[in-house]
Amino acid sequence: MNTLALLVAVGSSDVVTPDSPPIDTGTTAWMLVSTALVLLMIPGLAMFYGGLVRTKNVLGTMMHSFAAMAIIGVLWVVAGYALAFGPTVGGVIGWDPSKLLLAGIDQTIMEGGIPEYVFAMFQGKFAIITPALIAGAFAERVRFLGYCVFIALWSLLIYNPLAHIVWGGGFLTGDAIDFAGGTVIHVSAGVAGLVAALYLGARRGFPRVAMHPNNLVMTMMGAGLLWVGWFGFNAGSSVESGLKTAQALTATQAAAAAGALGWMILEGWRHGKATSLGLVSGILAGLVAVTPAAGDVLPVGAMALGLLASAACYGAIAIKNRLGYDDTLDVFGIHGVGGIIGALGLTFFLRDVPEGGIWVQFGHQVMGVLVAGAASAVGTLVLLVLVEKTVGLRLEERGELAGMDHSMHGEHGYGLLNPN
């Protein structure tokens, strides 16, 4: 479960030496593929989110994901990797000047036989997707420039430390089980989303005005790509191409299917109808919940987590609807809640009883969730205030009513609606 940390510790601290481990072409192949698969999740997310907003915001919402590819894509190469996976400074952040611009790892082969570049790129996709996830919470109402600044800072100041703390040699590395990023990615994004939704306030007209998804068809396509990409996300996090990888992939598949089935049944029972949005939400809930657990639970445990997450997320969204705040695309309801369910719940389904016993491990898990949640909450709030007061984040009324596509990007998504 501490594969990442160990690999990094061993493999990357020094430059290539005559005795660097030989390449394992199979593992390298799988890690290359995993990198591509996680990259695929980003357009997948853009489609998933893009389909759920109103027609006038479809491009703007997709741009949130795509801008993350551009901005974090550059930042990660420049400094992110050095900050997250450099030797630890006080357990909270890494620092390795030789890794700036990835210069120092040009020839490094890691323990396990893969070039460190591949590991760095694989991790980079995680860094990209996390802020892109948050964007769902304040969809349809932010300024593009403010958003860009926000995610850049969030990535540098919140994501990188968190990744370092849990995976990169920081103070939680090795305690909490977080196979593929349940806390670092989903809990932190979910909590950040919640804070942002509360701080920025609801969309104008919410909930009075009906706000319908413009393209559920695209949302379903996106969900399909997310499922496929998640195989890279989870099974790739084994950083090998072997038994653990297979276990992670199996758990991922089982949890996603169980989550989808669970939500379908819940809706069928409560509303007499199973919706497509419900089914894909269930897929997501299952995938999120199994993320921290993928390599460490049996298929039956994965299915249990998927079902649990489905029910919990369904409930969380129901509660949100009653509380009335506007987490537009339910980032907290799915990623926050699902991530917590997964991170805590996995304790009870572990393949191997953990060293200190179940409850000690549960303590570690709670700790992990709390650290990620708290760090993300506080950090996000500070950044939100900062960005809002400087470049401005919340979109002004005129722009919001006109829609982000027109007011922020000077375009509209579906030219086909206009005779031309």
Partner 1 sequence: MKLITAIICPERLDQVRQALIKADITRITVTRCSGRGQAESLEIYRGLEVGPELVPKIRVDIACNDEFVQVTIDAILDAARRGEGEVGDGKIFVTELQQCIRIRTGESGGTAI
By CB under 8 A, name the binding residues for partner 1.
56, 205, 208-210, 212-213, 267, 270-271, 273, 275, 277-278, 281, 314, 317-318, 321, 330, 333, 398, 401-403, 406, 409-412, 417-420
Can residue 3 be called a binding residue for a second copy (CB under 8 A)? no
Please say whether the beta carbons of 33 and 232 come within 8 A: yes
Q: Omega of the bond prior to 161 within 30 degrees of 0, cis?
A: no
| CA dihedral for 231, 234, 237, 238, sign (positive or negative) | negative
118 vs 313, beta carbon nearer partner 1: 313
- CA-CA-CA-CA dihedral for 123, 288, 235, 168, to nearest 10: 30
- Which phi-psi region, left, alpha or beta, contains residue 212 (left: φ > 0; alpha: ψ -120 to 50)? beta
- Contact region with a second copy (CB under 8 A), list: 173-181, 190-198, 252-260, 376-384: 252-260
Report how far apart, in Å, the C-alpha atoms of 83 and of each of 35, 38, 92, 162 are. 20, 21, 10, 10
181 vs 306, beta carbon nearer a second copy: 306
Token pair 């790739």: residue: 236
Q: How far is the CB of 253 from partner 1 (least distance, A)?
A: 24
The single-letter code of the amino acid at 246 is: A
Residues in region 142-181 near a second copy by CB under 8 A: 144-145, 148
User: Exposed (0-12), middle (13-18) or buried (19+): which is 97, by Cβ within 10 Å?
Assistant: exposed
- Contact region with a second copy (CB under 8 A), list: 178-186, 191-199, 216-224, 319-327: 216-224
Can residue 237 be called a binding residue for a second copy (CB under 8 A)? no
Q: How far is the CB of 68 from partner 1 (least distance, A)?
A: 21
Name the binder of 348 from a second copy, partner 1, none, CB < 5-8 A by kind: none
C-beta atoms surrounding 40 within 10 Å: 19
Can residue 350 be called a binding residue for a second copy (CB under 8 A)? no
Please say whether the beta carbons of 173 and 2 come within 8 A: yes
38 vs 283, beta carbon nearer partner 1: 283
Cβ contacts of residue 396 below 8 Å, gap of 6+?
A: none
351 vs 357, beta carbon nearer a second copy: 351
Strand partners, 410: none
d(CA 284, CA 44): 12
75 vs 317, beta carbon nearer partner 1: 317
Q: How far is the CB of 353 from partner 1 (least distance, A)?
A: 37
Q: How far is the CB of 314 from partner 1 (least distance, A)?
A: 6
Can residue 63 be called a binding residue for a second copy (CB under 8 A)? yes
Can residue 293 be called a binding residue for a second copy (CB under 8 A)? no
35 vs 88, beta carbon nearer a second copy: 35
Q: How far is the CB of 260 from a second copy (least distance, A)?
A: 4
Counts for the chain of helices (H) and strands (E), in that order: 16, 2
- CA-CA-CA-CA dihedral for 27, 31, 36, 40, to nearest 10: 120
The single-letter code of the amino acid at 379 is: G
381 vs 409, beta carbon nearer partner 1: 409
- Contact region with a second copy (CB under 8 A), list: 185-193, 251-259, 318-326, 358-366: 251-259
Cα 267 versus chain centre, distance: 26
Can residue 420 be called a binding residue for a second copy (CB under 8 A)? yes
Can residue 401 be called a binding residue for a second copy (CB under 8 A)? no
